[in-house]
Amino acid sequence: MPRETLSRDFIASHNTADSLWCIIDHKVYDLTDFIDAHPGGSVVLEQVAGTDATETFYNLHRQEVLEKYSSLCIGVVENEKPEVLVPSPGQLSSVPYAEPLWLRPQFKSPYFNDSHRRLQRALRVFVDTYVTPEAQAKEKDGSYISQELTDRMVRENMLAMRLGPGKHLHGKILPGGVKGEEFDYLHDLVQAQEFVRANSRGFQDGNFSGLMISLTAVLQWMKNEKIKQRVAGETLSGKKFMCLAITEAFAGSDVAGLRTTATKTPDGKHYIINGTKKWITNGMWCDYFVTGCKTDKGFSVILIPRSKGVETSLIKTSYSTAAGTSFVEFNNVKVPVEYLLGEEHKGFMVIMSNFNHERFMMCCGVIRWSRTVVEECLKWCNQRIVFGKKLIEQPVMRQKLAKMISHVEANQAWLEQIAYQMCSMSYAQQSKLLGGPIGLLKSFSTRSAHEIADEAVNIFGGRGLTQSGMGRVVEQFHRTYKFDAILGGTEEILADLGVRQAMKAFPKSML
Ligand code: HEM
């Protein structure tokens, strides 16, 4: 905290390398001992010694730099007050379009009630306080989510919450005092979008995305109640970890082309699993693999515990290894037949029933990420000075921003509408009526992400290609938005699904 009140004249006299002060946002910084450590070099600091460097500083640095180096601040300018807003944990952003409409105080929403708002407020504080600092660090060093954060989320019933609405939440109290029974798909949208604000795409998937898309299948399809309860207990308490293992080097979206085999032993008591899986998120540390296998008359889904013959190795992708993306090999792995999910040879139903929620979550995520990028661009255009004026004063920049804002607002509106419909439908109705619209929204929102990432890098220039500093969020988005375009079904497959599903209900109608 600033200690002294200093006059501008007195500050101006500290204008040499031996005593180098400057003013940033009405606060005084003593940079004398920092000159040699400054990543931007000593020359630039000497050029601003004794002056007000506010404009120059914000042209090149994020606000967080000042927070990190707050110990350099020695006082405030006499009779002046800092103006820059520094958000505290849990706060909403006051930058236009930085929050969805329903969170802006001036607007109303037909969808969100007090319970959704309580959940949002509690999660914002939780994510800002506990998730973001760890996420940022792990995204950088590529290490996996800590047991400490896992345990913290378990205590708040957050792992269970992230599976979406259902019986598994009954009797549980969720953040904001929300009862598990009242948790619906609008709550689900809220939680997905709040977690994404940690701005760490690899860690985001490392944070139990494997469990989110696989335990649901176990809860819905595992016939053996004893195994189901045990596995659910172990995984929801953060003691064991689970992932979904469908994709192979041989087949991605073409589930019918899978080559991993499950052959029954002659006594009919076990399956012997052989094959490989590729791009398995969280696979590196998982104890259970919900695995798509070829059985003699079709396709089946089997829960495979990590045991003899299961090997995982790390795949380096364009986002952080914090996601634990893995290549999995099953080499004569013996699994009791009780670990089958659903009916033998009818595994498509098991997989398909999971897809809608997974895709819905991905829409929530990529739309929220896109909004953050819009916020970054708005802030940058408002503070960056080139050719003697702010970027925002250039009409070409405003055109770009208008396009980006429109994509985000349109997608969020469609997303909320779909979430609202999901709230009043059974899972079967959702699959029948919303599988297509969710596919179209996912496909369109990643096309929007493509446009937004492209424009954002053009706005940030070289900084949009730099992993630290002003453009680091934009750089990461541009490098990683494709994960949402590929995972859970590619844009083309999902766009096609959307139209094919519409044609199924086509009336005998002519032009
Ligand atoms: C409290 C004062 C300051 C601190 C703590 C500070 C810290 C930093 C840090 C951490 C970076 C690395 C880039 C980043 O991660 O954002 C940086 C870069 C830089 N800084 Fe500073 N800085 C300060 C003041 C200034 C001032 C007053 C100027 C200009 C006169 C300046 C000019 C630069 C330049 C040119 C770079 C390289 C920027 C780039 O590559 O885009 N710094 N500074």
pLDDT tens readout for residues 158-197: 999 999 999 999 999 999 999 999 999 999 999 999 999 9
**Probe ligand 1: pick from 30, 59, 60, 472, max atoms within 8 Å of CB?**
60
- Residue nearest ligand 1's atom 20 by CA: 40
Q: Where in the chain is the domain with CATH 1.20.140.10?
A: 353-504
Q: Where in the chain is the domain with CATH 2.40.110.10?
A: 225-345
Q: Residue 313 CB: number of other CB atoms within 10 A? A: 10
Helical ranges in 142-208 per DSSP H: 147-155, 158-161, 185-196, 201-206
Residue of 224, 168, 197 lying closest to 357 (CA atoms): 168
User: What is the C-alpha end-to-end distance of the chain, expressed in Å?
Assistant: 72
ipTM, two decimals, is 0.94
Q: Where in the chain is the domain with CATH 1.10.540?
A: 103-200
Q: How close is the Cα of 56 to the center of ligand 1, in Å?
A: 9
Q: How close is the Cα of 58 to the center of ligand 1, in Å?
A: 9
- Atom from ligand 1 closest to the CA of residue 53: 27
178-179 vs 340-341, strand pairing mode? unpaired
Tokens of 283: 């696979």
HEC secondary structure over 386-444: ECCEEHHHCHHHHHHHHHHHHHHHHHHHHHHHHHHHHHCCCHHHHHHHHHHHHHHHHHH
Second CATH level (architecture) for the domain 353-504:
Up-down Bundle (1.20)
The 3-state DSSP class for residue 12 equals helix
User: Which CATH code fits 103-200?
Assistant: 1.10.540
Model confidence at 2, pLDDT cuts 50, 70, 90, reads: low
- Atom from ligand 1 closest to the CA of residue 44: 30
Estimate the crossing angle of helix 185-196 against helix 114-126, to 10 degrees.
20
Q: Write the pLDDT tens digit of every residue in 335-369.
A: 999 999 999 999 988 988 788 999 999 999 999 99
Query: Mean pLDDT in the chain?
Result: 96
Q: How close is the Cα of 102 to the center of ligand 1, in Å?
A: 37
| CATH match of 225-345 with 2.40.110.10 | yes
d(CA 318, CA 485): 14
CATH level 3 topology of 4-77? Flavocytochrome B2; Chain A, domain 1 (3.10.120)
Is the pLDDT score of 245 beyond 70?
yes
Q: Where in the chain is the domain with CATH 3.10.120.10?
A: 4-77
Q: Write the pLDDT tens digit of every residue in 206-244.
A: 999 999 999 999 999 999 999 999 999 999 999 999 999
Q: Tell me which residues have their CB closer than 6 angstroms to ligand 1.
A: 22, 24, 29, 31, 38-40, 44-45, 47-48, 53, 56-57, 60-62, 65-66, 69, 72, 468-469
Residue of 38, 199, 207, 45 lying closest to 133 (CA atoms): 199
DSSP-assigned letter for residue 240:
S
Q: Write the pLDDT tens digit of every residue in 264-294.
A: 999 999 999 999 999 999 999 999 999 999 9
HEC secondary structure over 339-361: HEECCCCEHHHHHHHHHHHHHHH
